[in-house]
Amino acid sequence: MSKFSDRYDPGPQIAQCGAINLGTTDLEKSLFFFRDTLGMEEVERRGNEVYLRCYQELGHHSLVLTQQDEAMVNSYSFRVKRPQDVELFHEELKRQEIEVLELAAGSVAGRGTAIRFLLPGGDHPFELYHDIDKPMAPEALRSRLLSNSSKRRGLATRRIDHFNIQTSPETINQAEQWVRDTLGFKRREFAHIPEHPDTILASWMSVTPQVHDLAIVANPEGKKAQCHHVAFNMQDFSDVLSAADTLKDLDVTFDVGPGKHGIGQAMYLYVFDPGSGHRVELYAGGYLIFDPDWEAIEWKRETFPDGLTYYGDTIDPFPPSISAVTTNSAGLILK
């Protein structure tokens, strides 16, 4: 007799953010930042790619740094809950006539078969996979804490936290709806563009109890396929503040922060990877959602500034131009 819980089929589901592949024009500077300063473990090198993970990640990698001519995001990868979910999502994408590329096991180091496609309404390159190796760290790096893959080192980012992507105001509603309808993300907090009350300005969505695993924001210049930032999680607010001290002394360029978001209630510090220029958020705290009938919280013009910056170094809630939220372009390619 099968287990009671196995007799139900919830359909394909996303489990979590898996990894981001960042193209960098200066791999050594990016390694100085992510490996030597943030303290990530270099797990594997293959050609022009370096695979890294944080100290509380057992999977093979959450970050791939790829040396290339243009700094851009090569992929945003999400892990699905069950092995069969990769194929089930593939079938649904085909039904929706979305072009899908199949990626063979091992085409990304440590990872099983995957599918790749461009987010409808966004054109961001998304990948879905399930199988991932869980290699032991070298003995010298290994932690006595069995739930940690390696010792806490450097500024101690402990896991990848979320992606924040941008698309045009013309397509953001489509992208946000698609992510919810097809990938199963739940809208947790959101805002509309004040002058266009039917258009999403920003939506924070999750498949986990986090307030967001993925945020989609309207790009003020109307560009699609933009990456605003990738966030890595730290244990405490104090870790973010210590990171600010250290990174300032290392001449790492700050964007904004430290501060605390009202939306999600986490502490933030946005800095730029000195190798690639990608914006990286160091992120700690935040509330969790366990309520099964959570109603998404709407932030309006008068409350939205508190949502972005509850206290601390402020983020412009309504940036007049791209200069306030400059982004790296994401890959438009299905290769």
The site for Fe ion (CB under 5 A) is made up of 164, 231, 281
CB of 149 to Fe ion, least distance (A): 24
How far, rounded to the nearest angstrom, does the alpha carbon of residue 221 sit from its chain's CA centroid? Answer: 22
Closer to Fe ion by Cβ: residue 114 or 160: 160
CB of 246 to Fe ion, least distance (A): 20
The rounded distance, in Å, linking the Cα atoms of 96 and 91 is 9
Please tell me what DSSP assigns to residue 24. Answer: E
Closer to Fe ion by Cβ: residue 14 or 43: 14
Q: Max alpha carbon distance in the chain (Å)?
A: 62
CB of 299 to Fe ion, least distance (A): 15
Closer to Fe ion by Cβ: residue 149 or 226: 226
Closer to Fe ion by Cβ: residue 50 or 215: 215
The rounded distance, in Å, linking the Cα atoms of 18 and 1 is 34
CB of 155 to Fe ion, least distance (A): 17
Please give the single-letter amino acid code of residue 110: G
CB of 241 to Fe ion, least distance (A): 17
Cis peptide before 258 (omega within 30 of 0): yes
Asked if 285 and 235 count as a contact pair (C-beta separation under 8 A), the reply is no
Asked if 115 and 127 count as a contact pair (C-beta separation under 8 A), the reply is yes
Closer to Fe ion by Cβ: residue 14 or 115: 14
Lookup result for tokens 């990530």 = 40
Which of 281, 334, 305, 76 has the alpha carbon at shortest distance from 161? 281
The rounded distance, in Å, linking the Cα atoms of 279 and 297 is 26
Structure tokens at 108: 């990304």
Asked if 164 and 217 count as a contact pair (C-beta separation under 8 A), the reply is yes
CB of 106 to Fe ion, least distance (A): 31
CB of 228 to Fe ion, least distance (A): 8
The rounded distance, in Å, linking the Cα atoms of 25 and 152 is 28
CB of 263 to Fe ion, least distance (A): 9
Closer to Fe ion by Cβ: residue 107 or 265: 265
Closer to Fe ion by Cβ: residue 35 or 261: 261
| DSSP secondary structure letters along 28-81 | HHHHIIIIIIS--EEEEEETTEEEEE-TT--SS-SEEEEE-SS--EEEEEEEES
Closer to Fe ion by Cβ: residue 149 or 164: 164
CB of 179 to Fe ion, least distance (A): 16
Closer to Fe ion by Cβ: residue 100 or 284: 284
Strand order in the sheet with 73-80: 41-46, 49-53, 63-67, 14-24, 73-80, 125-129, 114-118, 101-103
